[in-house]
Amino acid sequence: MKLPIFIADAFTAQAFRGNPAAVCLLENKLDEDMHQKIAREMNLSETAFIRKLHPTDSFTQKNVNSTLTFVTLSGELKARKVEDGIVLDLPLYPAHYQDVHEVKDLIKTAIGDTMIQDIRYSPDTRKLLVRLSDAYDRSFLENLKVSTQDLLQIENTGKVRGLILTLKGEPGGQTQAFDFYSRYFAPWVGVAEDPVTGSAHTVLSSYWSQELGKKEMRAFQCSSRGGELAISLRPDGRVDIRGGAAVVLEGTLTA
């Protein structure tokens, strides 16, 4: 069996940055065991398997602003190509005030005595959003050591499945201005730190839109690879998240 496969770096225009993902094109359905074997072989946090629902469908889409709909295990995902990247059409999830005493051990284990400005929780995504003090800058977030393995020892009862650390942006000056920064950790699902996380920004977009009073924002995820996202909140309660993409590998998988 020979399958076309690609590795693409998302939310970046540069190779070896952003969020790396393997994309495998299928003509016929594979069993779940084969999916898992291929994903382990790729050894990336994401491996996507794309199969045409109808024989007349095309794997290629060259028209700008045309929308493709993907039927996934998590529901429909819509994406469209624009001149400067790909736009994902995603739901917007509110984050509610969270009692610090309920999560103090988790936060203490993750970031020690780091000063905190705000704590929110998204029940829809089971993500805990921790906003660091405005006294910190981007370099502090980038260099912060997070004890992800120790988080698994904290009693959690499944409430938190992802930890978002976020920080208010800074004026641009001589560098590009961003409205907010973030990092994302999910050791509960086997991801110590995700390089760039679209799903986390469905929560971050809701939070920072309220805090900043803005519908259009630019965000930067401060992982070691780094990733840039352009965010646009829509009147229908959804959010468009735009990012670049760089294909770094194209080949054939033999299985």
**115-134: average pLDDT:** 97
Tell me: do 132 and 183 sit in the same domain: yes
99 C-beta neighbours (distance < 10 Å), count: 9
Both 113 and 26 in one domain: the answer is no
Q: What percent of the chain has pLDDT over 70?
A: 93
Both 114 and 170 in a single domain?
yes
In a domain, 177, yes or no: yes
Residues across the chain? 255
- Per residue in 42-80, pLDDT (tens digit) is 998 789 898 877 776 666 655 666 787 777 766 778 899
Q: What's the rounded Cα separation, in Å, for the pair 219 and 180? A: 5
Whether residue 76 lies inside any domain: the answer is no
CA distance 75 to 88: 14
Model pLDDT, residue 113: 96
115, 170: one domain: yes
Tell me: do 195 and 248 sit in the same domain. no
Q: What share of the chain is helix, strand, coil (3-state, %, to 5)?
A: 20, 40, 40
Q: Are residues 211 and 221 in the same domain?
A: yes
Mean pLDDT of 190-206: 95
In a domain, residue 117? The reply is: yes
Q: What is the pTM of this model?
A: 0.89
Q: What's the confidence (pLDDT) of residue 237?
A: 93
Which CATH number characterizes residue 8's domain? 3.10.310.10
- Same domain flag for 146 and 107: yes
Look at residue 175 and tell me whether its pLDDT is greater than 70.
Answer: no
* 167 in the same domain as 115: yes
Number of domains comprising the chain? 2
The pLDDT of residue 61 is 57
Per the domain annotation, does 115 fall within a domain? yes
Let me know if 155 is a catalytic residue.
Answer: no
Residues 157 and 51 in one domain: no
Question: Chain-wide mean pLDDT for the chain?
Answer: 91
Q: Are residue 191 and residue 248 in the same domain, yes or no?
A: no
pLDDT at 38: 94
For residue 92, what pLDDT is reported? 96
- The pLDDT of residue 59 is 63
> Does residue 58 share a domain with residue 184?
no
- Of the chain, the percentage scoring pLDDT greater than 90 comes to 76
In tens, the pLDDT along 69-117 reads 777 766 778 899 888 889 999 999 999 999 999 999 999 999 999 999 9
- 128 assigned to some structural domain: yes
Check if the beta carbon of residue 12 is closer than 8 Å to that of residue 195.
Answer: no
Establish if 15 belongs to a structural domain.
Answer: yes
pLDDT for res 173: 54
Residue 67 confidence (pLDDT): 80
DSSP assignment of 142-159 = HH----HHHHTTS--TTS
Are residues 237 and 185 part of one domain? yes
For residue 176, give its domain range.
Answer: 96-242
Q: Are 107 and 91 in contact (CB under 8 A)?
A: no
In this predicted structure, what is the pLDDT of residue 112?
96
Average pLDDT for 193-214: 96
Give the Cα separation of 161 and 163 in Å (integer). Answer: 7
Per-residue pLDDT for 174 more than 60? no
Amino acid identity of 210? Q
Q: Whole-angstrom Cα distance, residue 143 to residue 132?
A: 13
User: Which residues on neighbouring strands pair with residue 85, listed in sequence order?
Assistant: 82
Which of 46, 142, 170, 211 is catalytic? The answer is 46
Going by the DSSP 8-state scheme, the letter that residue 198 receives in this structure is H
On whether residue 49 sits in a domain, the answer given is: yes
